[in-house]
Amino acid sequence: RYVLCEVVSEDPRCRQCIEDRAVGLAVRDAIGRVHGDYGLACCSISFTVKYLNAYTGTVLLRCRKDSYRLLCSALPFVRHLESRNQRYPCALNTLHVGGTIRTCQKFLIQYNRRQLLMLLQKCTNEEERLSVHKSLLSCSLTEEQPQSGDEEDDGSTE
């Protein structure tokens, strides 16, 4: 299973400094404190941090199907992340549990759209609203075109 989470912190430096290794260690520590050695062993078999976006605070965790409940129940007990000998208080908020990365991506797109609509509604004046709207329109996904050197060799020898 894939567990999509967000890092919630009042300290803006927390998101800038988090690393996948720090998140993995904090989650393993929380599982060990909550469920003991048995829970830690069950979750550690295929537990990995598959994706981490430090800018948005989005984290995608992977674990075995039969142990995702142990993982999810331990996430509220993550209270801080350690990075570069600094401790940043934070919490991990579970957003979605999915069977594939693709379902988590689809959920994240819908979640971000809802968050942006809420942001637009909270704008106090027209200038803020236009600024948010302009920044939304400037964001786009483009498909990368393969470079001429990246194409496969046609098998001819020179």
Q: How many domains does the chain have?
A: 1
SS3 117: helix
Regions of the chain where pLDDT drops below 50? 149-158
Q: Which domain holds residue 33?
A: 2-123
Any domain includes 140: no
| pLDDT value of position 156 | 43
Any domain includes 153: no
Any domain includes 151: no
Any domain includes 18: yes
Any domain includes 137: no
Whole-number CA gyration radius for the chain = 20
CATH at 88: 3.30.70.3250
Any domain includes 8: yes
pLDDT digits over 137-158, tens only?
A: 766 555 555 555 444 444 444 3
Tell me the C-alpha distance between 67 and 19, whole Å. Answer: 24
| pLDDT value of position 142 | 52
Any domain includes 46: yes
Beta bridge partners of 91: 8
| pLDDT value of position 140 | 55
Any domain includes 74: yes
Beta bridge partners of 59: 5, 52
Tell me the C-alpha distance between 136 and 125, whole Å. Answer: 17
| pLDDT value of position 129 | 81
